[in-house]
Amino acid sequence: MDKGSKFYAYAIPIDSEAEVQTVQEKIRKEHPKARHFCTAMRLHPDASLERVNDDGEPSGSAGKPILGQLIKNQLTNVLVIVVRYFGGTKLGIPGLIEAYKTSTANAILAAVIIERIVYAKVHVVVSYDSFPMFLNYCKQHDILVLGETFGDQAALLLGFRKSTVQQDVMEALHQFSHMDFNSLEEYEEHLSFSITFTDEEEIR
């Protein structure tokens, strides 16, 4: 509470911008007499989508301080809604900034932070002779198997941590083959594998 105004902050995990309206409607129903519902959100692993809404408060006094706390705590795929009941006394822009900032910080402090891994998808084509051994190796070493397809050769769609995908693929091939090469091309040639790094991601 600040000079009679009450602030209630909600930190809600989301996976798409389409979820925002549904969440906002739910919070508005819970607080039918509140004056303002100010928000900030960040989406995608690289936080490439950010949105703020001051909802009637002076420009920059609500949404930006909320967003600032998300950035400070390196959070993404999250929507924060701060509900304000006006207490009759104006807080001024500095007071509003501090109130929305503090409310958001407290909500984050009370929340359970969920850490998720971004996987890069890697397409590996192998011979049918090698397929059972390589699939077994992947399962034994907790390499994420996202799919299997079968044609002239067998193919696996694998997930490797995006931040280290190149070195992890090299290490996997080294351990599987017990051969030590300096390039992916050498492993492909000696193992008769075809390896393609895709632009697709898997988040888990």
Closest CA to 63 of 72, 74, 47, 51: 51
Do 13 and 104 lie in a common domain?
A: yes
Instruction: With beta carbons less than 8 A apart as the criterion, state whether 37 and 27 touch.
Output: yes
pLDDT at 157 over 70: yes
Structural domain that includes position 129? 118-203
pLDDT for res 2: 58
Q: Over range 170-184, report the average pLDDT.
A: 96
Q: How far apart are the first and last CA of the chain?
A: 38
110, 139, 171 - which closes a domain = 110
Q: How many domains does the chain have?
A: 2
Q: Is residue 1 part of a domain?
A: no
Do 79 and 134 lie in a common domain?
A: no
Q: Which residue has the tokens 């190149």?
A: 166
pLDDT for res 99: 96
Partner residues linked to 39 by β-bridges: 53, 81
Q: Is residue 152 part of a domain?
A: yes
- In angstroms, the CA 157 to CA 122 distance is 6
Q: Over range 96-120, report the average pLDDT.
A: 95
DSSP, residue by residue, 15-32: SSTTHHHHHHHHHHHH-T
pLDDT band at 89 (very low <50, low <70, confident <90, very high): confident
Instruction: Give the pLDDT confidence of 3-53 residue by residue, as tens digits.
Output: 778 999 999 999 999 999 999 999 999 999 999 999 999 999 889 999 999
pLDDT at 77 over 70: yes
Do 34 and 97 lie in a common domain?
A: yes
pLDDT for res 11: 97
110, 134, 160 - which closes a domain = 110
Do 90 and 16 lie in a common domain?
A: yes
Do 184 and 93 lie in a common domain?
A: no
pLDDT band at 1 (very low <50, low <70, confident <90, very high): low
Q: Is residue 62 part of a domain?
A: yes
81, 110, 139 - which closes a domain = 110
Burial class (CB in 10 A: 0-12, 13-18, 19+), 169: buried
3-state secondary structure of 190: helix
> How far is residue 181 CA from its own chain's centroid?
34
CATH for 51: 3.30.230.30
Range list of β-strands (E), 44-127: 49-53, 78-85, 118-126
pLDDT at 143 over 90: yes
Do 105 and 69 lie in a common domain?
A: yes
Q: What percent of the chain has pLDDT over 70?
A: 99
Do 122 and 186 lie in a common domain?
A: yes
